Structure 1
């Protein structure tokens, strides 16, 4: 199997990727890391001569806006890395596993459960790769510095991760952020930070010929948003039943189930979002966590649906203000969704926003309220 850089250059030569200087710099750095990890493997050159090295190779933190190729580079790195002691996982799923492992460890360990949990994680892993490192709840923030210090400094695990934010913006304005700041120092000291933050959103190339609003409800509309999901996430359509879900943190003690969550794309039903008792904090958490949201089953609403319509207005406001890309299946065009009932006149602002969110200009915007 060819290495990271060779595979990347082959994709450029074939026309599957555009030449991009930021991507190439990242590919070169990841290729170097591959060689270091492979040389340090039990069967590698350094492993044969000296046994396993005491110092692990420096990790990599790639950050940039949506569609800059971070996940693509991670795919190439992981698939061409020829060691067995590697693991790639979504960051949310990893942290959920960590919290579950800590609950179990507390049953049998007196004292700090983090060292034994980190040791267990590192048992068969020398390179741990994350897609989309994002910190949006205090439970994760409180333990990350100690957990990753154990993994990197004590267990010798090399971390490779992507994120939409530079390290100093992680958990920005979060509760008790002072406890999280040592983690940022750890990134600066133990990982190479690589920006991929140019103006081009390559992901738009994948959805440029797809409409975002699909009506009427039915199999054809559903198939269109399914196609958008698989284009945006690179997940094989034939493996749809294995798309991961997520428990999205809403404040300190609540979570929301996201039926399908992958690479910053979240899929929800209108019923789950707007027929249940939800408010602005729920919708803000969604808007912050996902660069693209797919909502299925938006119905016609009337006087008996005023609560659902009001929640839908709040939801769209949050998505719009955070430049979230929206794909939807609906019973009608936006201007026909809610024409009679309390707030139907005010609903016209939401209609205007829904129409704007379908425009090329809106879709070209980066994700985030202060982008």
Structure 2
């Protein structure tokens, strides 16, 4: 089996990837982990054998790769996952925690006293490597269970590799009852090797450089162009993302590696509030918003939500690609709210600049 260094070098040679010193510096960490997992999986699962209870499962020390958006964190993790020597799963952190909360709820309905245990057992029964994209904690329900969840997974021999835009000490920053969350940060530092991927190049931003990001009017050509951008950035991914916000679900119909795609009505046609839009802005780094209509008296509530959404995306430095019925300044031209929308139009115009948000580190 080739090492990740060899795989990366081959892809640079054939032009699939561009050599990046910051990415190359992290390859030995992946190679180390690959070797440890390979050794553990030899024979009758080697160190991971549970036969007769003679050996406890042993988790290799995993990786926590953090850094700015578009630096290649997810790409490297995906390469590693693709060539994993052990049963593995790759999942967005938000989606995984949504599954966990759902399973806890089902266990509670069955009268299970310690509801986290069957969840841990189920994950550990299927895989030995868990790869998370975009680890971040925004929901207090998640914050209160991740410590026991991960302790249980590590104790059962599950190795974790994760990417994040935040250094571990900044996870759940300013969150409610954060002091109860702090032990989880200590677990991360103990069980995962923390590495800052500090590349000066934002490859995601680069792929949009020189490419228009706001399209009007809405027609077959603009829809086709949006499809091309989505396919180029995500490989035509079709998975969705569900974000749990204060007990309710916020669904992004299409999501991959921090890039999401939704219509205006997906985002603003429901009774979402500032907290929902802040959660979306925290979960994505590039959002494609399709089919923004003419705004005014007939859709005043939806227009208000759109203003709140744009504010959240702007403050979080989320890159936006959009299709709309007209240019930003002409979207809202009559009715209450016209004056307030001038700032939104200005922000939408500013966010079209190719250099906007290029230094964002989330």
Q: TM-score, normalised on structure 1?
A: 0.89
Is the partner of 1:198 in helix, strand or coil? coil
CA-based RMSD of the aligned residues comes to: 2.5
Q: Which runs of 5+ in 2 are unaligned?
A: none
Q: Does 1:159 align with 2:163?
A: no
Q: How does 1:187-198 map to 2 (within 5 A)?
A: 187-198=188-199
> How far 1:14 moved relative to its partner?
3.2
Which residue number in structure 1 is paired with residue 61 of structure 2?
58
Q: Distance in 2 between matches of 1:334 and 1:169?
A: 35
> How far 1:95 moved relative to its partner?
1.5
Is the partner of 1:362 in helix, strand or coil? coil
Q: Distance in 2 between matches of 1:87 and 1:312?
A: 35
Q: How does 1:61-100 map to 2 (within 5 A)?
A: 61-83=64-86, 85-100=87-102
Q: Distance in 1 between matches of 2:183 and 2:206?
A: 38
Render the CA deviation track for 1:312-367: whole Å, top value 9, x for unaligned.
Answer: 22221111111111111111111211122223233222222111101012042315
Aligned pair partner of 1:133 in 115, 132, 135: 135
Render the CA deviation track for 1:189-238: whole Å, top value 9, x for unaligned.
Answer: 111001113332011232224311111112221222222223333x3x3x
Q: Distance in 1 between matches of 2:130 and 2:214?
A: 38
Render the CA deviation track for 1:138-190: whole Å, top value 9, x for unaligned.
Answer: 111111000100110x2011111111111111111111212211110000111
Q: Distance in 2 between matches of 1:269 and 1:41?
A: 45
Aligned pair partner of 1:329 in 323, 330, 333: 323
Distance 1:106 1:46, change over 3 A: closer
Q: TM-score, normalised on structure 2?
A: 0.91
Contact residue 210 and residue 228 of structure 1 kept, 8 A: no
Q: Does 1:248 align with 2:243?
A: yes
Q: Does 1:317 align with 2:319?
A: no
Which residue number in structure 1 is paired with residue 337 of structure 2?
343
Aligned pair partner of 1:121 in 123, 128, 134: 123
Distance 1:91 1:275, change over 3 A: closer
Distance 1:364 1:113, change over 3 A: same
Q: Does 1:295 align with 2:289?
A: yes
> How far 1:108 moved relative to its partner?
4.6
Q: Which runs of 5+ in 1 are unaligned?
A: none
Contact residue 301 and residue 338 of structure 1 kept, 8 A: yes
Distance 1:105 1:304, change over 3 A: closer
Q: How does 1:204-283 map to 2 (within 5 A)?
A: 204-233=205-234, 235=235, 237=236, 243-250=238-245, 252-283=246-277
Q: Distance in 1 between matches of 2:211 and 2:152?
A: 45
Contact residue 127 and residue 157 of structure 1 kept, 8 A: yes
Is the partner of 1:203 in helix, strand or coil? helix
How many equivalent residue pairs? 359
